[in-house]
Amino acid sequence: MQSSELDRRLQIVREIAVAAGEVALQFYDEKIQIEWKSAGNPVTAADHAANETILAQLHQHFSGEAVLSEESQDDMSRLGRDLVWVVDPLDGTKEFIKRNGEFSVMIGLVENGRATLGVVSQPAAAKVYFGAAG
């Protein structure tokens, strides 16, 4: 992928990660309803809302590209795709529940099995980390 295309994608994904973090923060001061995906693995409405925000934006900007998200069903079609977005809409759900600020939104792009770009947003700290290959 050309560096100009990487830069374009990185800018868009930074905005998506920040937006998803803002969505998650809307739940931060509310009573948090906890569901359990499996033993010791909680999920909240904030996880789902951030996931929906990310998926909608990725599909809007990068239609047809595969997405693997921690909070969505994996349809395995990604295995035959060159470009795959990898998403954890709320990494650190336990920390989110504790309200200690130690959670993040993570979005990465894998191209032909190689990490190509990544964004980590820490909404509670208003920090964003990002990088791209090349």
Residue 113: band (very low, low, confident or very high) from pLDDT cuts 50, 70, 90: very high
Query: Given this model, what pLDDT does residue 19 score?
Result: 99
Burial class from Cβ neighbours inside 10 Å (0-12, 13-18, 19+) for residue 16 reads buried
Residue 112 and residue 133: Cα distance in Å, rounded?
13
Per-residue pLDDT band for 110 (boundaries 50, 70, 90) equals very high
**Which residues form the domain of 79?**
3-132
Q: What is the pLDDT of residues 61-93, one digit of tens each?
A: 999 899 999 888 777 776 778 999 999 999 999
How many domains are there within the chain?
A: 1
- At residue 70, the pLDDT reads 87
Rounded Cα distance, 30 and 44, in Å: 11
The Cβ-side half-sphere exposure at 115, using a 13 Å CA radius, reads 10
C-alpha distances in angstroms, 89 versus 4, 44, 54? 26, 11, 7
What pTM was computed for the model? 0.93
Question: What CATH number is associated with residue 47?
Answer: 3.30.540.10
